[in-house]
A and B are shown apart, each in its own frame.
Chain A
Amino acid sequence: MIKQKAMAVEVKDFSQDILEKFQSQPKPLKETIQEPKRSFKLKPILISLTLVMSIFLIVILFPKEEQSVVDTPLLENIEDVVALSSIQSTSLIPLLESELSMNEGILLRFGPVERNNRIRDEIEDVSKYLETIEKLYANKDDFKVTDERQNAQGFSRRMRFASKDLLNEETSYEIRYNQRLNQKTKQFVIEGLLYRGDKAYQMTLEGKQGEKHVEMITKKDDHNYIRVNYEVDENKHIYEVQIIKQDHITQMVEIELKQIDETRYATLSFIEGESTGNYQFELRLENSIKVIHVDYEIQIDDEVESGEMTFRINTDQTPPVYQITVQPEGRTPFIVTRGRFQQNG
């Protein structure tokens, strides 16, 4: 109906006016630059020598911007951001550890496939981010972060934090790091090792003091890593997560967190990669058991399919699995079972 109404709208014909106006405009003259004939002249050589000397003097007199190693914790007020970024990164690192090529991830079914199969594929992708979502809801903002001076293994500081999941199981993390601050620009860099269980990953975090914007890179190696960009935008906390495999972004998602009254909402949007869906998560209680309710929208063949999902943790199995009830709008519900993350996996 909107399309029909739009077709009926008459837009005036300004074509002649536009053309007249355009043609009456003074045309900018095209500059032709003539290449100067090469000739040997002493003056340019003198100028070059002067220039080299000047640069030399500048370097001597004005050394590079002051980078200093500081004692005070630079992560003050953003420890939770770092904790959540670390949880996200370490939960995704196993994806990089598989020997699959970057194209052998989850290949979604396109074309005229049964819609439920397409949703099942999407759930596979969504499951990768559920550890973060679970921990986000289970911990509220309290990751019990401690940050202290230390002198071991060449690192001057140590940050520790822990996260719980919806089954109340705890995972401990530790970052051993060195920090540098550019006193002029207030830009800081933190480099170190991020430990989860018995595994350690090289990490770098960059940001600006006093600003809530950081970029964290957690590496399996130089070609395979997770990049998390965090920023606050009008009371929304936005994490952009990129999975880089063999130097290519295989998936990019945006996780947006916001709190309305007492309820915390997390939205997961797939930006790059095979998946296209948008998921809004909410923690609910079902007979005193925590479940994750999801409103979803998935683009299938240029149409948007929407509906609801409920992620329940089935503890009857070892290890526990997700039992997901999918209720597509206007269609019959169905159940999907997916493996849940391993605490120290």
Chain B
Amino acid sequence: METIDQIIKELKQQNYRHFDNFYHLTKKQVFFSIRAIIKDEQLSEDLLQDTYMRFLERIDQYRDGANPYAYLVTIGRRLAIDTYHQRKKEVISEEIINHQVYEEEVHEENNDLFKLLDNLSKDEREVVVLHVINDLKFREVADIMDRPLGTILWIYQKAMKKLKREVGEESD
């Protein structure tokens, strides 16, 4: 089976025969990094597809030897943040007109994990997702989120305390 670096080399040469492997190897990391920002699962899935589209469109810009997970997560995160800000404005104006509170759509099967993560602030959720779920180092998380390492550690610690309170010692 091809390694992720080999597949990327193929993709750069416009050979897409192992793209499905590449997608399966990376989809969870990308999805969670988007879902940490966008609470709507359907929208997160749309952005997941957009992330890979963007990746393929700009594959020439991918530097050999870079961390492909961190690279994809960075694209996904940027798309999610743009959508988040756009959506926030839309939600606020809808609320003013309709006096309705926006309700998040969460699929039942993933409800458990997301319910837990949704107790955290947006920053805390992102740090936990990127470090715990996506296995990125704190330094990589700091680079992706463009925040000082110390701040990331601080946010992580706070998030873990909250999660421990929420589910007991199991969350370790």
Contacts and interface: CB of A to CB of B under 8 A. Distances in A.
Interface of A: 1-3, 5-19, 21-23, 25, 254, 267-271, 276-278, 297, 299, 302, 304, 306
Contacts, number: 107
Nearest to B138: A299
Interface string B1-35: 00000000000000010011001100110011000
Chief secondary structure at chain B's binding surface: helix
A3 B128 CA distance: 10
A276 B167 contact: no
Given A10-B109, A15-B19, A15-B20, A269 B154 contact: yes
B52 A18 contact: yes
**How many B residues are at the interface, by size bracket?**
35 or more
Given A1-B170, A11-B48, A14-B48, A269 B151 contact: yes
B23 to A, nearest CB: 4
A19 B157 contact: no
Contacts of A299: 138, 149, 153
17 contacts: A2-B171, A5-B112, A5-B116, A7-B28, A14-B48, A14-B49, A16-B20, A18-B19, A18-B53, A18-B56, A254-B150, A268-B150, A276-B153, A299-B138, A302-B137, A304-B153, A306-B157
Given A13-B24, A18-B52, A21-B49, A2 B138 contact: no
B103 to A, nearest CB: 21
Nearest to B170: A1
B64 interface: no
Q: Which of A10, A11, A12, A278 gathers the greatest number of chain B CB atoms within 10 Å?
A: A11
A22 B113 contact: no
A271 B132 contact: no
Contacts of B154: 267, 269, 278, 297
B148 A254 contact: yes
